[in-house]
Structures are given as C-alpha cells and as structure tokens.
Structure 1
Amino acid sequence: MSSAPAPSVADLPPLVRVDPADQVGVALRPLVPGETVSVAGIAVTVANPVATGHKIALTAIAAGDDVRRYGWPIGRATRLIAAGEHVHSHNVATKLVGEEPYRYQPTAVAPRPAGRVRGFDGYVRADGSVGTRNQIWVIPTVGCVGRTAQRVAMKAAATAGVEDVLAFAHPFGCSQLGDDLDGTARVLAALACHPNAGGVLLLGLGCEENQLSALLERLPPERRDRIRSVGAQMSADEHGDAARAIAELAEIAAADRRTPVGLDALRLGLKCGGSDGFSGLTANPLIGRAADAVTAAGGTAILTEIPEMFGAERLLMARATDEAVFDRLVVLVNDFKRYFLDHGEPISENPSPGNVEGGITTLEEKSLGAVQKGGRAAVTDVLGYGERVRRPGLVVLEAPGNDAVSTTALAAAGATLTLFSTGRGTPLGSPVPTMKLATNHDLATRKPGWIDFDAGSVLDDGLDATAEALMDRICAVASGEPAKNEINEEREIALWKRGVTL
C-alpha cells in the first residue's frame, strides 16, 4: 500500500472504462454538467451530474439494448440513453428472471503464477489444518445459554497461555425442526472443529432440540481431546464447571506454538459488503489477486454470497474443474433462485439502498464486481451450508449475501482469515480475523478504526504493486498481528434461519 498521501480529486482522471466493450465509464470524481471528459479516446459532454462511482454513457444506447460494464450486460436500457448521460436505475433495469438451463462449456483457466514465495507462522493441528489463532471458543447449543456463554468467557479471558477466550452467542437451537435445525447443528459443529480454536467448550441447556449429545457425535475423533461440554440443567454450578473446563482446555492449548508454514496452509474467506461503484475496480480485483496467490501455492480460497453471483454465475461455472463440480454449482445457483421465488420474491431484489447510492445499478452489475474476488483460479469444489473444506483451490460455498450470516458460514467452512471489501464501511467481524479493504481513499481516511487496508491504492500504484502490499499484510495478520475487528472486539456469529419457528 502506498505510503504517499492520497491524491486530491484534481489529480484523478475523470473516468475509467473497464472493458473495450463497455458503453459506460465510471466516474472517479464528481462530473459537472457541461464539462467534457474522455476515456480510451472517447470524449463526451456531461449532460447531468454524475457522482463519484456512478456511470456515464460513452455512446448512445437504444431503448431495450444491453448496457455493458466489465464487458458483460448489467441490464437493459429502459429508454434511449444519450452519450454523456448519467446511467443508473432511472434508465437501466435488470434482465434477470428465474432458474435457467446451463450447459457445461469449460474455458481454459490460465492461473496466475504463484509469485513470491510467502508463508506465515501458524498453529498446526492434529488433522493437518493450520490455525492463524490459538483461542478457546465457547459455543452454546441454544440461545437460552448464550448470555451464560458470554459471561463464562469474559471471566476466563485472562487465562494465561492462550490468545483469547471467546463466546459466540446466537438465538437458535430450539423451536427448530428438520433441515432448519440440522443447518444450525452443522454450523456449530463445524465451528467446533475450527483450527483457530485450540480448545472448545460446548455449553448446552438440556431441553433444547439441538441436543448436546447429538452435537458431540458430529465431531471427528481427532478433535475430541480439544472439546469439553457442560449441560447447564444437569450441573449444580454451570459457571464453575465451565470455568474448570476452560482451564483444562487452556492448559492443553498453552503448549501449542506457532510454526512457519507456507501459503498452502492458508484458508482464505472472500467477502464483500456495503459495495459501491469502486468495489469491482479496486478491492474485489485485489482480493482476487490474493485468492490467486493462495490457490496457486496450494491453499484454499472460499467464495460465497450465492445471490450476489446471479448474472455472473457463468463466469464461475466455466471454470469448474470437471462436470461434477459444474453440476453441483448449477444446482446450488438454481436452488437459491428457487428459494427466492418460493417466498414470492424476485431474484433481483438486490442491490441494497447503500449499493445504489454508491453507484451500483442492478444485481448483474453487483455480481460481476463481486465474483472478481475469486480471481481466475479453477473452481475445485462446491460446499453446502455448514460443510467444511474438503480440498484446496477455489471453493464455492452455499450461503446468502447477508454479511453476518455469510462470514459465519465462511468460518464454519474453515476459513482462518477473511478478506472483506467494503465501499460504505462496516465494523462487523466474524470468529476469525476479518480484514476490511476499503474500495476508496475517502472511506479509509474517514474510518481508520474499521479499515485494515486501503484498496484505493490500486488506482494510484496499480494492481500488481498493491497486491504485493496486501499479501504482506495478510501474512502479518495470519501470523498474529490483530485485524481491526479483533482490536475492536467485533467477533460474532449469525446463523441462517430458513424454517418455521415453533
């Protein structure tokens, strides 16, 4: 990341055009009616105010024609758009409908070279996974003991020899049925297997549907020496029993030491939230470079937020390593579309108000920017909600776009560090280090307490140089340097509730 001061508005070019096929340019500063601006040899006179991050037409676009950004359609023009006009939701509409037939049409994947050899100091676990932290996690089976879990963790937080004692409260685990209950149990069991947890206390109540005994049965044998459990209704003193269990786990975890490992040991979660018109220009391509570096080294990158792939899903499907992976990705995408339709909602009920204010017009535009977080690595696997990573490479994970739910799903899948791009800003964190990448200098300057890295430097220093700086920062955080969410104690979980509540 550049150490030089951020450039002033006057230093920036007025526009950027992502692809030669694009009929729109993205404003890098506010555009004023009457001024003439140019990009890629095309000059236009600004017809109406265009805010930073918003789009301007570089050529006339007829009513009904595709509007392209990133070289792909982001929607259709709802009326004639003259050159120089602001292009946004007032004159562009989505083309997305419902479920679609897809054909397996693989394209040759040209992965980027691994680049400079890097590594980090991590905690090697018995199952071969490597943690970036060595903490004790307290996981309640049910919301009724969520506050109890927080209290016992707070009292034990000063335990010597471990980095922290954290509790992850949630409101579920009771009054759930079937697949809905199974989803809760799968995620909690997956979190209990996380390599960042040197030990886990499962805290149950006793009468809940998400029974403690059943949750313990979901855990692999190699993990059970790092697990303790307390049932509050069966205990005469749940606080005392929990404290003793945490002390036992801390004694075991205190013997763990950081060991130098390569990038092949890193599991990188990929996330965006509060996106703006710069997300697909700076932070998301930058995260894509990090994903490529990790996967090229033999590591894992996990991409989720399935509804924010609609309109760009074919780019990922074409990179499936084989037809079986392609088929699972097709089912995942269409099932998620059906989930929307069965609830009477259009699949294009996105972008959010903040996205629109930041310059994103349609879900297709948001998705085409979002999938850039996956770089250009081959898609090696597709995971259901609550499933854990099975193989390295670029993995697609079932979860919604909701920030808290999807970051939790990434952690449950095994991400040991998550990269989170944002153009609007958010303090939200997850159980693992959650590095926030600002898409623009303004956000990085205004919210330094939230932001770990200023991806706006891509426009100043270029993608290659900024990616090198980001990789250095990732390795430092993976080796123990705290991310801003950890400094701010922003570490929460949220579960995906899909069924009825009794």
Structure 2
Amino acid sequence: MPETLADTAARPRDAVRIAAQDDVAVALRALESGEDVEVDGQSVRLRDAIGAGHKFAVTPIAQGAPVRRYRAPIGVATRDIAVGEHVHTHNVATALVGERAYAFAGPQAGAETRAPAPARSFRGYVRPDGTVGTRNELWILPTVGCVGRLGERLAQRAGNAPGVDGVHAFNHPFGCSQLGADLDGTAAIIASLALNPNAGGVLLLGLGCESNQLDALLERIPPERRTRLRILRAQSEGDEFAAGEALIAELMGLMATDRREEVPLSKLRLGVKCGGSDAMSGLTANPLIGLMADAVTQAGGAAILTEIPEVFGAETLLLERAANQEVFDKLSELVNAFKRYFLDHGEPVSENPSPGNIAGGITTLEEKSLGAVQKGGLAPIHDVIGYGERMSLSQSPGGLTVLEGPGNDAVSTTALAAAGATITLFSTGRGTPLGSPVPTVKIASNHSLAERKPGWIDFDAALALDIGMEAAAAALLDRIVAIASGEPARNESNDERAIGIWKRGVTL
C-alpha cells in the first residue's frame, strides 16, 4: 500500500514526495520557474512554473521509463524528463491495457494494519432488524419517471412532523422502455433504496402501465420489511394526490415514535467516494477517508468502496487484501468485466481522468486510481457485490465490501446508498454540491477549495498538512459522529439530494 502523509511529520513545506522510490514531487503551492525547492533534504531547481497540485521531476526520467508516484508506476515518459521539469500529460502517457490474468497468493499474513481507534458511538435510529439509520426520513421512490414530479410535489406538501427528519422524493427518468438486465438494474436500485435504514418510512409510487411494475418490485422486499412501506398506483386513483397525502400521513404516524439512541460505531455503514479529484486528493482527503474506513471496520462496522473504473492500474493493491480465493475471484472478474464493458463499446480502458482532474494535476488513470483506492483504508476485503445489491453485514464483519458501479458521481453515490451506506464520505479537490439520499460529507483536499466553498464543504482535509494526519483524523471522526447523530451535512442544509441510475441497455 502506498505511503501517505500519515507516515510523515506535519511541517511547512513547498512540495512533498510520498516515498523515496518516487520520481516526482507534488507542489503544495504555485512555484515559479527558477525557484529552488527543498524535497527530502535535496534542493531542486525548477525548470518550469509548477501549479499547486502539479508534479515535477526529482530524478532524471528516460523516455520510455515508468514514472513513479505512490511507489508505483503512474505511466511512462514519452520523452526524456530532466530534474525540475513539469511532469504531466505533455510528457507522460498511460500504460494501461485491457483485461489481465491475476493469481491469488493467499491471505496476506503480513498485511499492513493500523492501531484500533478509541471506542466511539453515535446516536442513531435502531431498526427492528438490528440495522441503524443516521436519519429517520420518509422516502418517496417512483418506479418510473412519469410520476417523478408527482412524488416531488407530495414531498413538498408533506410538511414537518414529530420524529420525522424529512420527507424526500427521488425523481429519475427510468422504469419504462427498458429491457432485461437494464430494467432489472433499475428495479434493484429502487428496492434496495427502500431497505436503507435511513428510510423510516417508504412510499413506492407507481404509474400503473410501466415496465417496472410495483408488484414485481414489491417481491424484492422481504415481507418483514414492509411494515413501514406503502404503495400508490396513480392510474388506479381518482385523486392520486389526495391518496398519496393520506399514505404519507399514515407513515408519519408510525414514524412519530422513533427516537435516537446511543449505539456503537460498529453500527455505522460507511460509503466512500471521490469526485472532482485533484493531485492533492491522494495526499490528504483520500488517505484521511481511508483512516475513517479503518476506524469503522476495526470497530466491527462496514465500509463500501465502488467506482470500479477508478481502480484500474491499482487493482492489485485491492486484490492483495482479498480475504479468500472466492473474494479474489469475484473481484478480479469484476475488474476485467468492467474493462470488457469499455472495450465492447469501442472505448479505451484509460479514458479517464476528466478535464477537471487534469487541470488539478492528475495525469493518468493509474495516478488517479492509486490515489482513489486509499479511501478503502487497509481493511481486508470480505465481500464483492453487484450493482443494486445490498451489503450483508454477516458476510463483512469489520471488513470492506467492493461494490460494482461506475465512477459517475450521482450513479455511484446512489449505488452506495442502495447497498446500505447510511453516510457517505466524498472527497473532492475541485468541489461539487451533489448529495445522495444519505448524508454526503464533502471533504476538501486543499485549503483553497474549503475557503472558497464553505457552503459545500464539511471538512478541510488539508489540515493534515498543518497539524498532521493523526490529529486531522481525530477531528474528522468527531465531525462524522456529529453528522451521524443528526447534525446536517452541507448537502442536507442545501437540500441537495438526488439519485442517478446506471442506464446500460437500449431504450424502446
């Protein structure tokens, strides 16, 4: 596993190199051409101006040689690169190819671990099945886009009620004109969202003639989980609005007696995600999220990692943590299947990073992935689940679950909530207001973003550069506990809640 700032002392600096094996350092501020910069006790004279978050060479790199960051190749040099030169897309190219064969070496007896965090608790809503919600909300889930606006209107009119943290409708354009696995994915996501512990009550809202039929959807939900669920078929009602309001009032009456109670951190289901990343994400925010994943899993809780295309080039780091052969085989097949998904559509597997990522200093998908996988911490991988599936705590006690899903922010945060995440940590270097059905905690990778967008950002991970990773981790865990106990995340304060469904098939 690559080293991070957690392994270094916090001290003022202009640039940082993660490991002695690395060929590059990352500028922590804008640097001028001709400036002398100290890196690991060595003075490097810059040949180019280097933007904050961008890289420069600290060793000579020959054309065709691998360029290393995080102790691993992030691509190959397309020409000779001298010490002090800017290292980016103009002189480095990806080395990623398609599918690969992987071999299981057995559970890693010497795998890295971290010391357990102090015991913590939060105030959550305990559900009859033993799961715990961080919110007690009423969710309106349309089966089809035709009634999406009806759901939103019902939510707007619902008002407040004792014991209910909010009423939210999650509109989407799908549920009809879909076939086969594509339709199945939509149904799976809606049904799994209905089972999230943050939903103290659920109204399944259908039209009547859609492909995503309510009766078939209801069969995906165990009978014992239907006591807080109501269904509305809009075409069958003379006044669908009045019928919906009556069902919402009924659910609110059931939810009125729900109360928060103190529960251990082991009851938290933590989703981890990144979006609008920059080169600082892999130095500050993602390692910090990894520490949070370890704190939760070491307490006996569970963490969920997705965005499979953003592990390409770093997948071996995850495969080394597979708990057994079965998990290894499922994970390696998932990675290769996602590569086939790209290739079958005539797209290269390396069509990433985004323009914003590149502007922020990320050069290749390998570099992006090596930073991104740090969000999963060091916990063993106990399970691999498909898109729309729910995490099983019995299969993943104190471990990491890997979830099939793309990198798209709306789609992947929705998939995390459907899998059972009750709070999601979302790192960002460029910034985004996006929120999912569950609290979506935005963690800035740099001071500039946190200062410019305080209405979007919940935590400034660049504090790790000032006070050290351990102190920053303690502060972030305090923030997570507060949000899990009811303090609103920025996305909730801004009423930024939405879902995105992965559309993979034809449209009729």
TM-score, with structure 1 as normaliser:
0.97
2:37, 2:44 within 8 Å by CA — same for their partners in 1?
yes
Distance 1:236 1:394 in 2: 48
Which residue does the alignment assign to 1:433? Answer: 439
**Which of the numbers 309, 312, 322 marks the counterpart of 2:311?**
309
How far residue 41 of structure 1 moved from its aligned partner, in angstroms, is 2.5
Which residue does the alignment assign to 1:181? Answer: 183
Distance 1:36 1:172 in 2: 56
- The one-letter code sitting in structure 2 at the alignment partner of 1:372 is Q
- The one-letter code sitting in structure 2 at the alignment partner of 1:83 is V
Distance 1:172 1:190 in 2: 16
Please give the per-residue CA displacement for 1:181-238, whole angstroms capped at 9, x wherever unaligned. Answer: 0000000000001100100000000000000111111101221001000000011111
Distance 1:246 1:487 in 2: 23
Distance 1:32 1:153 in 2: 54
Coordinate RMSD, CA, aligned: 0.9
1:43, 1:58 within 8 Å by CA — same for their partners in 2?
no
Mind listing any 5+ residue stretches in structure 2 that lack a counterpart? 1-10
1:126, 1:222 within 8 Å by CA — same for their partners in 2?
no
Please give the per-residue CA displacement for 1:232-267, whole angstroms capped at 9, x wherever unaligned. Answer: 001111111111111111111111111111111000
How far residue 35 of structure 1 moved from its aligned partner, in angstroms, is 1.4
Distance 1:142 1:14 in 2: 53
Is 1:74 paired with 2:74? yes
How far residue 12 of structure 1 moved from its aligned partner, in angstroms, is 4.2
Between the aligned residues of both structures, percent identity stands at: 66
- The one-letter code sitting in structure 2 at the alignment partner of 1:34 is G
Which residue does the alignment assign to 1:88? Answer: 88
Distance 2:117 2:52 in 1: 34
Distance 2:380 2:280 in 1: 25
In 2 relative to 1, CA 160–258 (structure 1 residues): closer, same or farther, beyond 3 Å?
Answer: closer
Is 1:29 paired with 2:35? no
Which residue does the alignment assign to 2:3? Answer: none
Please give the per-residue CA displacement for 1:422-477, whole angstroms capped at 9, x wherever unaligned. Answer: 00000000000000000011100000000000101010011100000000110000
Which residue does the alignment assign to 2:47? Answer: 47
- Give the SS at the match of 1:408: helix
Which residue does the alignment assign to 2:459? Answer: 453
Distance 1:297 1:48 in 2: 47
What is the 5 A alignment of 1:266-305?
266-305=268-307
Mind listing any 5+ residue stretches in structure 1 that lack a counterpart? 1-10
Which residue does the alignment assign to 1:345? Answer: 347
1:272, 1:421 within 8 Å by CA — same for their partners in 2?
yes
2:163, 2:259 within 8 Å by CA — same for their partners in 1?
no
Which residue does the alignment assign to 1:486? Answer: 492
1:140, 1:204 within 8 Å by CA — same for their partners in 2?
yes
Which residue does the alignment assign to 1:7? Answer: none
- Give the SS at the match of 1:225: coil
Larger CA deviation: 105-114 vs 396-405: 105-114
- Give the SS at the match of 2:424: strand
How far residue 37 of structure 1 moved from its aligned partner, in angstroms, is 1.1
- The one-letter code sitting in structure 1 at the alignment partner of 2:100 is E
Distance 1:102 1:95 in 2: 17
Which residue does the alignment assign to 2:7? Answer: none
Is 1:61 paired with 2:61? yes
Which residue does the alignment assign to 1:131? Answer: 133
What is the 5 A alignment of 1:103-502?
103-105=103-105, 106-107=107-108, 108-391=110-393, 392=396, 393-502=399-508
1:111, 1:296 within 8 Å by CA — same for their partners in 2?
no
1:12, 1:29 within 8 Å by CA — same for their partners in 2?
no
1:109, 1:377 within 8 Å by CA — same for their partners in 2?
no
1:130, 1:265 within 8 Å by CA — same for their partners in 2?
yes
- The one-letter code sitting in structure 1 at the alignment partner of 2:216 is A
How far residue 86 of structure 1 moved from its aligned partner, in angstroms, is 0.2
How far residue 159 of structure 1 moved from its aligned partner, in angstroms, is 3.3
Runs of 4+ in 1 over 6 A off after TM superposition: none
- The one-letter code sitting in structure 2 at the alignment partner of 1:181 is L
How far residue 30 of structure 1 moved from its aligned partner, in angstroms, is 1.2
Distance 1:117 1:133 in 2: 22
Distance 2:41 2:116 in 1: 35
How far residue 22 of structure 1 moved from its aligned partner, in angstroms, is 0.0
- The one-letter code sitting in structure 2 at the alignment partner of 1:156 is A
Distance 2:35 2:111 in 1: 42
How far residue 114 of structure 1 moved from its aligned partner, in angstroms, is 2.2
- Give the SS at the match of 2:462: helix
- Give the SS at the match of 1:443: helix
Please give the per-residue CA displacement for 1:40-82, whole angstroms capped at 9, x wherever unaligned. Answer: 1322210011100000000110000000000000000000001
Distance 1:113 1:213 in 2: 49
How far residue 109 of structure 1 moved from its aligned partner, in angstroms, is 2.7
1:113, 1:293 within 8 Å by CA — same for their partners in 2?
no
- The one-letter code sitting in structure 2 at the alignment partner of 1:155 is R
- The one-letter code sitting in structure 2 at the alignment partner of 1:85 is E
2:161, 2:256 within 8 Å by CA — same for their partners in 1?
no
Number of aligned residue pairs: 492
Distance 2:432 2:95 in 1: 30
How far residue 170 of structure 1 moved from its aligned partner, in angstroms, is 0.2
How far residue 14 of structure 1 moved from its aligned partner, in angstroms, is 1.5
- The one-letter code sitting in structure 1 at the alignment partner of 2:367 is E
Which residue does the alignment assign to 1:5? Answer: none
Distance 2:319 2:159 in 1: 45
